[in-house]
Structure 1
Amino acid sequence: MYSLRASPRVICTAGAPRDSFVMLSLYHRSRDCAPGNRVKLSWEDLPGLFPSFANPERWLPLLQRHATLVEQAAKHTRVTSVTGANVVRRQYAESLELLRITRCFTDACEPYADVGTGGGYPGLVVAILIPAAPVTLVEPLQKRARLLETMAAELELVNVRVLAERAEDAGRGALRGSCALVTARAVAELRELLEYTAPLARTGGWLALPKGSGAEAEVEEAARALGELNCVHRATVPMRPEVSDSGMVVMVEKVGPGLEKYPRRAGLPGKRPL
């Protein structure tokens, strides 16, 4: 492994796409973006932060509508702990940043799955930004799954389907080995999370897993899981400071078919992580 000189916090392994290095070299922290000096993001800031996402006149109102639906649902269903002024940054800017980073590694985003999607972060955000991509949201809680179906219908997202089941079960069903990209946000530590996500990815597919400042330590602890699941850690990429103080995205490539014994039965990955 080696660090990019332009950004010491970016850790890459041999095999990471060369084009990704162009993007990674853009990460520079300024005093204005240091912890404690962060400026709150508004909806109007998002198109400027993400100019590569075309047609903001289409996707921005949909994101705002989604936020309204989540706020309304919070009266009877717990879908997120992030509220108030932090919503735009933590839920939407970070989801968009995750998608931006994945584009430096793979153009393919279909089919795509989000595991433990909760209120739709980042799964519904990706579905809004890429309406041509078939999106599967894996959510084990029945109440949340029904809410996701309702929100997708309200937003007229015909590219979304919801699987109301555990990731371990999804990894043994029709979704197994079919996805070009799999994400999972705030679900589990990496060595456990890999067993939930890797079986869903096809050979050559990618896992994009948001983590905090302890991402590099989690990658080291996940060495056995990576090997068992036929995956290679390609890069750990920091989100831009305009978006997050400490957010990182662990990029993992699935380099071959997974063993039939994974995922193990429901509950085992959490009790006995690889």
Structure 2
Amino acid sequence: MSLTSRLRVILRSKSDRALTRLEDPREALDDSYEQQVKMLQQVRQGLAEVATAKKRIELQGQEMGGRYQRLGDQAQEALNQDREDLARTALERRSLLEGQVAAIRDQYLALAQQQAQLQDNERRLAERVAAFRTEKETIKATYAASEARVKANEAAAGIGSQVGAVGADLDRARDRVAQMQARAAATDELLSSGALNDATAAPDADLERQLSAGATKADVDRQLQSMKNARAADRSPGPHPGSRGGTDAWLGIGEGTTTP
């Protein structure tokens, strides 16, 4: 397989994995769940803000109610002291305060209604998010189990998406092994014929090797001829005059011409 073909196979495999990730329903379900959770958080944040504003108006109304009561008591005390002018002033302020209380009471009731609506929306949305989460996890578990079955079946049948790449790897491995075997056989022949010289050997080492082989052959030929001559003369060959006997006989090996 050429380099271009290998790159094509690799890119196709990577693109297939990328498409598989894009089409994976589990990721889509997780994204949808995260969006719903964000919506629920926004609703809860809005509910907290409305409740805070409602509480602030409630505290302001309670403060106005206390002042309203004090102004009524002051008007009554002024009349008891025959101070009609002070009683009139207290009542006038009390009348103005009634208008202010009426205004914030309307705001308070509107915020209370809005809070009730937000609480109802938060409850229903929280229930929907919880139900969606349960359904999501069920679908993801079913998909994972099905995916595992598909991979196991494809592996058993040998039809997975990686089979083509595996077959190509096997073909490349076989080609490399065949090339290496052919190269080893060729280098063996070159070494045996002397055509491939050892770059680390000493100069003219090949000549020394051939001369040594020729000397060994000549010595063998001489020994063989000596054995033939001894047999022709009908005498048994004896030990070489220069050979040693006993346990140190090996010391005489190679001293002169060796006769078996």
- Normalising to structure 1: TM-score of the pair? 0.13
- Normalising to structure 2: TM-score of the pair? 0.13
Larger strand share, 1 or 2: 1
Larger helix share, 1 or 2: 2
Larger Rg, first or second structure (1 or 2): 2
